Chains A and B, each alone.
Chain A
Amino acid sequence: MKRALLKQMRHEWRDNIWLVLGLALVCTSVWFMTLKLTIMTKGLFEPLGADPDDVYVLSIASIPPSSPEYVDAGDDAAEANSDALRALIANIRRSPYVEAAAYGANALPYSMSYYGNAITLDNEEGSEMSTEASEQKYYSGNIRRMSPDMVRVLRLESLTGKSQDDLERLLRDGNIFVTNIIGMYNAALFPEDVNGKTVNCGGYKYRVGDIIRNIRRSDYEMTNGGMIIMPIDESGLLNAHNIAVRLKPGTADKFREEFQSTPAMQKQGNKILHELTSLRDRANGMQRSKDTHLRLSIGLSLLLVVIVALGVMGVFWFRIQQRVSETAIRKVCGAKNSDIFRRIISEGLILLTFSALIMAAAGWPLLKATLLSDVNSTGADAVISGTLTVALMAVAIVICIWLPARKAIKIEPAIAIKDE
């Protein structure tokens, strides 16, 4: 049957070649978009390094001297501002809906800060390495500063089995944390090399207390480089961007109401807390362009598949009409409905096979020159997305040929060939 079918398809080469070209163009476009989505969404399957549910963020603002409410503390302004921040967080912690609250500066996920630094092993403790060697080696990472309670707010995860209480205590004692690294991105020292050691960072000495899971900047970002978690001392001079609060599940509305109706939670001295937003909302705002891009690419790919599938359906509809007599004769000669059905579906799938070959030949160089040059992409991604594309097209074609094929198997031989 296959040989006869191929022969018949060869006879209709003029129509088939256009169909194959159309399918190949859609296959290549969809392949391109599928691979783009594959690369873009890889990060979605990695842990975020923090639990953003029930976490709310309050931005810290200062009352300017031009305000009638400005409190002039003279030379003690820095201490007065720190006291105001301490009073604000104390009032927030008093709320019955709050589980934990902490200060942060670039501490939270969904913040695109790339501010970073490098840490080197302290020479005095510098293991067996020579001075020269230890000077050359460094662990680099983005700086995230947080007060100890942030461990509970974000539910940070130790990769060495330490509990959250242990992590909190380590931060309170002035330790810093490093995070896991995937790949060798700018790292000559690995987290394991510095864990438990005294290190230099920005001219100060610290002890690395633990290795924790990387807090990613967005759901889409892949873990590459490292991160350095620095402690904010709540009892000293405070320099923070925001206050993060973990609320008890289901109490967000009540907390919002309480916050809005309690001036003491909003203003102390020259410091104001405002912009109460959930971390999820911040994520949605920050990742909008990626989220919308993702939806758009999926929608566009599906629409292109629908358009080409409609075209295939139209062509096959005409073919079935044209082959009424042929189908009737086949039936008279003993062909079952399933044979007729299979033949038509096979025709569509053979056309798709040719298109897939063109897609592979034309698409591969295109992908290599564009998407596959991305550091996060691999050849395997291209193969998987190509296979997915062909599978999606096959499903669409089978669904669209179904209708004309059903029409073909309903042909009554006696009626169809009565004119012949």
Chain B
Amino acid sequence: MIKYIRQVYYEMRHQKMMTWVSISCTALAVFLVMSYFMTDQLSTVEVAPESNRSRMMYGGGFEYRGPDMSASGAMKYQMIQKIFGSLDGIEQSAISSSWDDNVSGSVNGKISQTLDLKKTDGKFWRLYDFDFISGKPYEDADMETEAKKVIITRSVARYFFDKDDATGETLNLNSVPYTVAGVVRDIHPSLIATFANIYTPLSRNDIYDDSEYLTGGLMVHMLRTPGTTEESLKQQVEQRYIRLNQDLKKDSVEAIYHGAPHNAEYLASGIFGNWTPDLSGEKRGRIVAYCVLLLIPAINLGSMMRGRLRHRISEIGVRRAFGAKRRDIVAQLLGENLVVTLVGGAIGLALSLAFMTLLSTYFIKMGDAGPTALNFTSEAPPINMLFTWRSFAIALGGCFLLNLMSAFLPSWRASKGQPAQAISKTRI
């Protein structure tokens, strides 16, 4: 490796411009690939409170068609129990409102603010690993008693109470006084399943919804046991739909199955009642994007590599004349190029991290949070959501791939020439 670095250093001194152009090209390519990858992984990365995101499944949409009424939307509590209750292979589950409400939060002496409210059951707090700064979660029993308890995020606590430990304080939500039961760390908006400014227990109305509609306003969060496949859960749920439709047949109503439950990636793309998410198109687009982002710099760097090797044709000839094998020449050239690629890759990775932390909110929409919800949270993703071992491996793999794609063919061709021809610069 040392000899490659020495050779690259020599080249840098004699071909300053070109070395910097190569490094810049590589850095920009890795920057693009990594920024794209980091954006992509925001919907699946496992960080608290969604540390088990890869095993999470969600059911949120419901559609039915009948002679008098057809509707689609979120789910009723009873329907969730019927369709998703006691599935084999589910470790834990919880229920929350399907969409967040905007409520007016006020405390005497403070300007009132609109807050993003998520209603949940008590199991929600065991399913996700929220970091409680103070206080503790509410329980399922609080739904039955309609306890006026609220869990707030640290930013909300600091705004209304000027302190992190606001447990026991009173916060008015649409003029109803709620007691702060606990304070949790702020959640990043791209953690769609858990993001909110404040959390309250589901009300009895949410649970015992006896309206004529089969749709409601709730969704279910489920944690698969290790080893349970998404497919096996989908099959069970499809069976439940068949059974449900047998019950609904007497009213000539049919519930439409849309492939639930869905994983975190689907949740990020939006689960709607009358829509079966199709991510295959998105996946195809992603593969094309990665190919284009790697192919363009590879072709570019390959062209430059060929130019660089023309200058070293005599050197290659001399090495060959002294007994170097073709694979030695190729390995030497690939090794040298790898040093340049790694330097460019490191710069690209640093650039992508800086971009994602400082500028990404200008270019990428994070989650579904509205503008008022963002008053109480930073939209820029924290570094632990961006820089994971997976992203590091992707960056390194990208560099190796780029190196191979750009340097192998020119190196192979350069090593092919006869020593005599190469020394006399008649062929490369």
Which of A289, A310, A314 is B365 in contact with, Cβ under 8 Å? A289
With CB as the reference atom, state the residue of chain B lying closest to A257.
B111
Instruction: Let me know if A69 is at the binding interface, CB within 8 A.
Output: yes
Within 8 Å CB of A289, what residues of B? Answer: 365
Within 8 Å CB of A303, what residues of B? Answer: 28, 31-32
Which of A26, A300, A313, A319 is B32 in contact with, Cβ under 8 Å? A300
> Given the complex of chains A and B, what is the CA–CA distance between A301 and B104 in angstroms?
42
Report B413 CB to chain A, min CB distance, Å.
Answer: 9
Instruction: Let me know if A274 is at the binding interface, CB within 8 A.
Output: yes
Q: Is the Cβ of A272 less than 8 Å from the Cβ of B175?
A: yes
| Known contacts A25-B296, A317-B17, A318-B311; A292 and B303 CB within 8 A of each other | no
Interface size class of B (residues with CB under 8 A): 35 or more
| Known contacts A26-B296, A275-B102, A285-B371; A67 and B174 CB within 8 A of each other | yes
Q: Is the Cβ of B365 less than 8 Å from the Cβ of A284?
A: no
Q: Is the Cβ of B303 less than 8 Å from the Cβ of A15?
A: yes
> Given the complex of chains A and B, what is the CA–CA distance between A59 and B29 in angstroms?
46
Interface hit among A16-24, A97-105, A223-231: A16-24
Instruction: Let me know if A207 is at the binding interface, CB within 8 A.
Output: no
> Given the complex of chains A and B, what is the CA–CA distance between A61 and B292 in angstroms?
50
Report A16 CB to chain B, min CB distance, Å.
Answer: 9
> Given the complex of chains A and B, what is the CA–CA distance between A300 and B364 in angstroms?
12
Q: Is the Cβ of B371 less than 8 Å from the Cβ of A284?
A: yes
Within 8 Å CB of B308, what residues of A? Answer: 318
Q: Is the Cβ of A307 less than 8 Å from the Cβ of B28?
A: yes
Instruction: Let me know if A10 is at the binding interface, CB within 8 A.
Output: no
| Known contacts A29-B296, A311-B25, A311-B299; A285 and B370 CB within 8 A of each other | yes
Q: Is the Cβ of B362 less than 8 Å from the Cβ of A295?
A: yes
With CB as the reference atom, state the residue of chain A lying closest to B24.
A310
> Given the complex of chains A and B, what is the CA–CA distance between A354 and B303 in angstroms?
17
User: Which residues of B27-46 are within 8 A (CB) of A?
Assistant: 28-29, 31-32
Within 8 Å CB of A5, what residues of B? Answer: none
Among B146, B307, B370, residue most surrounded by chain A Cβ atoms (within 10 Å): B307
Q: Is the Cβ of A322 less than 8 Å from the Cβ of B300?
A: no
Q: Is the Cβ of A22 less than 8 Å from the Cβ of B299?
A: yes
> Given the complex of chains A and B, what is the CA–CA distance between A292 and B22 in angstroms?
30
> Given the complex of chains A and B, what is the CA–CA distance between A21 and B310 in angstroms?
21
Within 8 Å CB of A288, what residues of B? Answer: 365
Q: Is the Cβ of A314 less than 8 Å from the Cβ of B362?
A: no
Within 8 Å CB of B326, what residues of A? Answer: none
With CB as the reference atom, state the residue of chain A lying closest to B363.
A296
Within 8 Å CB of B307, what residues of A? Answer: 15, 314-315, 317-319, 322
Instruction: Let me know if A266 is at the binding interface, CB within 8 A.
Output: yes
Instruction: Let me know if B21 is at the binding interface, CB within 8 A.
Output: yes
Instruction: Let me know if B301 is at the binding interface, CB within 8 A.
Output: yes
> Given the complex of chains A and B, what is the CA–CA distance between A270 and B5 in angstroms?
75
| Known contacts A272-B104, A274-B104, A296-B364; A315 and B304 CB within 8 A of each other | yes
Q: Is the Cβ of B18 less than 8 Å from the Cβ of A63?
A: no
**Chain A: interface residue total (CB-CB under 8 A):** 53
> Given the complex of chains A and B, what is the CA–CA distance between A330 and B242 in angstroms?
83
Within 8 Å CB of B104, what residues of A? Answer: 61, 272, 274-275
Report A183 CB to chain B, min CB distance, Å.
Answer: 26
Which of A26, A285, A318 is B18 in contact with, Cβ under 8 Å? A318
Instruction: Let me know if A308 is at the binding interface, CB within 8 A.
Output: yes
Instruction: Let me know if A197 is at the binding interface, CB within 8 A.
Output: no
Decide if the interface of chain A is mainly helix, strand, loop or mixed.
Answer: helix
| Known contacts A296-B364, A304-B296, A322-B310; A63 and B176 CB within 8 A of each other | yes
Report B245 CB to chain A, min CB distance, Å.
Answer: 28
Within 8 Å CB of A25, what residues of B? Answer: 292, 295-296, 299
Within 8 Å CB of B234, what residues of A? Answer: none
Instruction: Let me know if A130 is at the binding interface, CB within 8 A.
Output: no
Within 8 Å CB of B175, what residues of A? Answer: 63, 67, 69, 267, 272
Instruction: Let me know if B306 is at the binding interface, CB within 8 A.
Output: yes
Instruction: Let me know if A117 is at the binding interface, CB within 8 A.
Output: no
Q: Is the Cβ of A308 less than 8 Å from the Cβ of B300?
A: yes
> Given the complex of chains A and B, what is the CA–CA distance between A353 and B363 in angstroms?
32
Q: Is the Cβ of A315 less than 8 Å from the Cβ of B303?
A: yes
Instruction: Let me know if A260 is at the binding interface, CB within 8 A.
Output: yes
Instruction: Let me know if A93 is at the binding interface, CB within 8 A.
Output: no
Among B24, B112, B311, residue most surrounded by chain A Cβ atoms (within 10 Å): B112
Within 8 Å CB of A300, what residues of B? Answer: 32
Within 8 Å CB of A285, what residues of B? Answer: 370-372
Q: Is the Cβ of B296 less than 8 Å from the Cβ of A307?
A: yes
> Given the complex of chains A and B, what is the CA–CA distance between A66 and B371 in angstroms?
29
With CB as the reference atom, state the residue of chain B lying closest to A14.
B306
Which of A63, A67, A307 is B29 in contact with, Cβ under 8 Å? A307
With CB as the reference atom, state the residue of chain B lying closest to A306.
B28
Within 8 Å CB of A307, what residues of B? Answer: 25, 28-29, 32, 296-297, 300
Within 8 Å CB of B32, what residues of A? Answer: 300, 303-304, 307
Q: Is the Cβ of B371 less than 8 Å from the Cβ of A317?
A: no
User: Which residues of A279-303 are within 8 A (CB) of B?
Assistant: 281-282, 284-285, 288-289, 292-293, 295-296, 299-300, 303
Within 8 Å CB of A62, what residues of B? Answer: 174
Instruction: Let me know if A365 is at the binding interface, CB within 8 A.
Output: no
> Given the complex of chains A and B, what is the CA–CA distance between A289 and B365 in angstroms?
5
Within 8 Å CB of B61, what residues of A? Answer: none
Instruction: Let me know if B134 is at the binding interface, CB within 8 A.
Output: no
With CB as the reference atom, state the residue of chain A lying closest to B372.
A275
Report B396 CB to chain A, min CB distance, Å.
Answer: 20
Instruction: Let me know if A131 is at the binding interface, CB within 8 A.
Output: no
Instruction: Let me know if B343 is at the binding interface, CB within 8 A.
Output: no
Among B21, B175, B365, residue most surrounded by chain A Cβ atoms (within 10 Å): B175
Instruction: Let me know if A202 is at the binding interface, CB within 8 A.
Output: no
With CB as the reference atom, state the residue of chain A lying closest to B29.
A307
> Given the complex of chains A and B, what is the CA–CA distance between A281 and B102 in angstroms?
16
Report B130 CB to chain A, min CB distance, Å.
Answer: 26
With CB as the reference atom, state the residue of chain A lying closest to B410.
A18
Q: Is the Cβ of B362 less than 8 Å from the Cβ of A292?
A: yes
Within 8 Å CB of A21, what residues of B? Answer: 299
Instruction: Let me know if B92 is at the binding interface, CB within 8 A.
Output: no
Q: Is the Cβ of B174 less than 8 Å from the Cβ of A63?
A: yes
1/0 contact trace for B257-300 toward A, CB 8 Å? Answer: 00000000000000000000000000000000000100111011
Within 8 Å CB of A111, what residues of B? Answer: none
List the 5 shortest-distance A-B pairs measured between CB atoms, nearest first: A311-B300, A318-B307, A274-B104, A285-B371, A22-B299
28 A–B contacts from the bound complex (CB under 8 Å) = A15-B307, A18-B299, A18-B302, A22-B300, A61-B103, A61-B174, A63-B175, A64-B176, A66-B146, A67-B176, A277-B372, A285-B371, A288-B365, A292-B365, A293-B365, A295-B362, A295-B363, A296-B363, A296-B364, A303-B28, A303-B31, A304-B32, A308-B300, A311-B21, A311-B303, A314-B22, A315-B303, A318-B18
**Given A25-B299, A285-B371, A314-B304; 5 other pairs, CB 8 A cutoff:** A66-B176, A307-B32, A307-B300, A311-B297, A311-B300
Residues of B that sit less than 8 Å from A by CB: 17-18, 21-22, 24-25, 28-29, 31-32, 102-104, 111-112, 114, 146, 148, 174-177, 292, 295-297, 299-304, 306-308, 310-311, 362-365, 370-372
